[in-house]
Amino acid sequence: MKTTVVVGTQWGDEGKGKLVDIMAESADWVIRFHGGANAGHTLWVQGQKTVLHLIPSGVLHAHTRCLIGPGVALDPFALIEEIRGLKSKGFLKEERQLLIADQCTLILPIHKALDQAREKSLLENKIGTTGKGIGPAYEDRASRRAITLADLYQPRLEEKLNRVLEEKNLLLEFLYKESLHNPKDLVRDLVGLAAELAPYRTSESSRLLIDAKNKGQKILFEGAQGSLLDVVHGNYPFVTSSSTLAGSVSPSLGLGPKFVDHVVGVFKAYCTRVGSGPMPTELKNEVGAKIQKDGQEFGSTTGRVRRCGWLDLVALKYAIDLNGVDELAMMKLDVLSGHEKVAFATKYRIGAVVKDSFPTALEDLENSVPELEWHESWSESLIDCRAWEDLPGPAKNYIRAIESHVQCPISRVSVGPDRAQILKVPRI
């Protein structure tokens, strides 16, 4: 497939980064199209760990060009740190490997301050954001006062920053009792960064991608967060502030709706969630604790412990529909070794009603009790499995049962963090 989008089909942290890194081996381009440094894509290559927040996961392949597209909320301070970190490890040797769209919305320190102040004031009602300023920056975009990457190179930067800071400083001072941000300091810091970012700027990202496709080059779009965190179709308000779905490639990058040929949905063999909001299959017991420990389920951006539970096929089916998924990739199956039995949810009971569709009202999701289907488990470690034939029978049956429920093929199964720990699933 020439143009493929890889999206998360749960609440984020599905392992998209690992899959994109592997697929990038044969890709010419890898593109981030939404979200910002709230994402944390962890890659393990020959025992070395790299966590990326903004730069596409293709960057570890020297031949792959990476683009941070116009729809991304870009924290220039975090980006510079990431660029320097990659260079110090011997990656990103050539500037042409990374492009950043001029239209990106900048996340400024005041957006992060506002995000964190709001969360603090919400007490037990907090969303549990990553505190990276995502919501406030996208608000500025929608209210037409955002600073873009291109603005860093324009004479009116200070005037525009004054406008942004004036209102936010009022909120910080009088509503949240937090300290103020000084526009002059910010201009100084941003001008310092602008020179370092200048070689990566592009004002013609749509044209570059259209030309690449016309030349037969292979393009991968890397989703961030997960479908259930989508600002419209996720379980609002416990969502992020961008559209996380495959369809958002088109408006976020300025490409026509037929540009993408293929959609890969990534899911973990169980569910995790960071932050607040309902998660019907959550296990607040020793089984959940075992999954959390075996899967090392800590947020790669915030270090928070992730909530864990059984795989939720009601949610997965919903995400398959939302994205038009053609094939699935299952990650971290190795983590489920050593349980007495394994399960997935196939329906929700809400009061007396049993449904297999994902509720759109928050209260319905909060009141949903999962109906579980139990399966035989396996005790062996899967980390050395490299082919379908290496998997124990119950693990194969678990995979086939999921495919049959969601009516979508699972093409790959990952059994460990390293690039090599992945196997292909034969089509039935």
Tokens representing 242 are: 């961008």
Beta bridge partners of 266: 8, 329
Number of neighbouring beta carbons within 10 Å of residue 423: 18
The residues that touch ligand IMP, with contacts defined as CB under 6 A, are 11-13, 38-40, 127-130, 132, 134-135, 224-225, 229, 238, 240-241, 274-275
d(C-alpha 284, C-alpha 337), whole Å: 19
How many helices (DSSP H) and strands (DSSP E) are in the chain?
Answer: 12, 20
Return the closest-CA partner of residue 71 out of 95, 101, 114, 96: 101
| Angle, vertex CA 39, rays to CA 38 and CA 41, nearest 5 | 150
Number of neighbouring beta carbons within 10 Å of residue 96: 8
C-beta of 340: minimal distance to ligand IMP in Å?
29
C-beta of 236: minimal distance to ligand IMP in Å?
11
Residue 172 or residue 228: which is nearer to ligand IMP going by CB?
228
Helices (H), 101-156: 109-121, 134-142
Task: Judge whether 13 counts as a catalytic residue.
Answer: yes
C-beta of 416: minimal distance to ligand IMP in Å?
20
CA–centroid distance for 11 within its chain: 9
Catalytic residue among 34, 41, 61, 405: 41
d(C-alpha 91, C-alpha 61), whole Å: 8
d(C-alpha 36, C-alpha 237), whole Å: 18
C-beta of 306: minimal distance to ligand IMP in Å?
8
Does residue 237 have a cis peptide bond before it, meaning omega lies within 30 degrees of 0? yes
C-beta of 365: minimal distance to ligand IMP in Å?
14
Catalytic residue among 13, 115, 312, 326: 13
d(C-alpha 425, C-alpha 428), whole Å: 9
d(C-alpha 195, C-alpha 192), whole Å: 6
d(C-alpha 344, C-alpha 403), whole Å: 12
Residue 134 or residue 345: which is nearer to ligand IMP going by CB?
134
C-beta of 393: minimal distance to ligand IMP in Å?
33
CA trace torsion 245, 246, 249, 250 (10° rounding):
-100
Both ends of the chain: CA-CA distance in Å? 21
Residue 239 or residue 255: which is nearer to ligand IMP going by CB?
239
Residue 68 or residue 423: which is nearer to ligand IMP going by CB?
68
Amino acid identity for residue 118 in this structure: R
Task: Judge whether 233 counts as a catalytic residue.
Answer: no
Residue 103 or residue 240: which is nearer to ligand IMP going by CB?
240
Nearest-CB residue for ligand IMP: 275
Residue 183 or residue 295: which is nearer to ligand IMP going by CB?
295
C-beta of 155: minimal distance to ligand IMP in Å?
32
Residue 274 or residue 365: which is nearer to ligand IMP going by CB?
274
Residue 337 and residue 381 in contact, taking contact as beta carbons nearer than 8 Å: yes
**Cβ partners under 8 Å of residue 45, min gap 6:** 21, 60, 418, 419
- Which residues are identified as catalytic? 13, 41
